[in-house]
Every structure is written in C-alpha cells, then in structure tokens.
Amino acid sequence: MTNTKHILSVIYGLFLLIFGLNGFLNFFPLPEMTEEAGTFAGSLAQTGYIFPIVGALQVIVGILLTINKFRPLALIVIFPIMLNAFLLHLFLDPAGIAGSLVAIILNVFLFIVYRESYKNLFQMNSKLIS
C-alpha cells in the first residue's frame, strides 16, 4: 500500500501542479464550458482574487504532495477547491467533469489512506469543555 499511496500522491500532486501553473502561464487552453458554468466562472474571475488564490494553492499543494511533505494537511487544504470544481461540473457542465472527478476520487482515496493522520481531529478534547 505504501508504494500505491506514494505513486497516487505524486500523480495527484503533478496534476495539481500542472493545472495550478496553467492558471498563471496559460500553456494549454481550458475546454469550453456551458453557458451556465461560464457565467459562474466569469463571476468568480471578476473578483480578481479567486483564481490566483486557487492557482497558488494548487501549485503549493501539488509540490507538497509530490515531495512528500505535509501530505495529510495538503489534502485537507485542497479538498474544498476540488469539491467545488467537481460540483460545478456535476451541476453546470457535466461534459467537462472528467478532470474534477479524477481529482476528487484521488483526494478521497488519499484521505482514506492517510486516515490515521486525521484521528485527533475527530476526538473531543475534554479540556476545552468546562
């Protein structure tokens, strides 16, 4: 399982790194979206900050996953972004769901593989309760 965990982490990391860098360097065009998805994405783009933050987080998390540093934390940080991308395609652009589906499957699989790292997150701290 260790080799599988490492290989899938590196694949997911490279996936995130490539798509994150593409947000800044535009070395390959993104596929056309439906009108509804395009309107939603256009609204996010108009904020001026969402896509640069998403791209930067993808690059950072991609590097962390690839070099095996803070993998459990990196998976938590990127999950809301990948979930949103998956849901965007699921509801507004089903034809373009493939990439986000692969990302969310890898993220969830790696959550399961690293579940031991998350145990303390789900334990109630009795010192906090008075």
Give pTM, 2 decimals: 0.90
pLDDT by residue, tens only, the chain of 130 residues: 679 999 999 999 999 999 999 999 999 998 899 999 999 999 999 999 999 999 999 999 999 999 999 999 999 999 999 999 999 999 999 999 999 999 999 999 999 999 999 998 888 766 655 5
Nearest to 68 by CA among 130, 8, 128: 8
Query: What separation in angstroms does the CA of 105 have from each of 47, 50, 80, 111, 128?
Result: 29, 23, 13, 10, 35
72: CB partners within 8 A, 6+ apart: 114, 117, 118
The angle formed by the CA atoms of residues 113, 118 and 124, to the nearest 5 degrees, is: 150
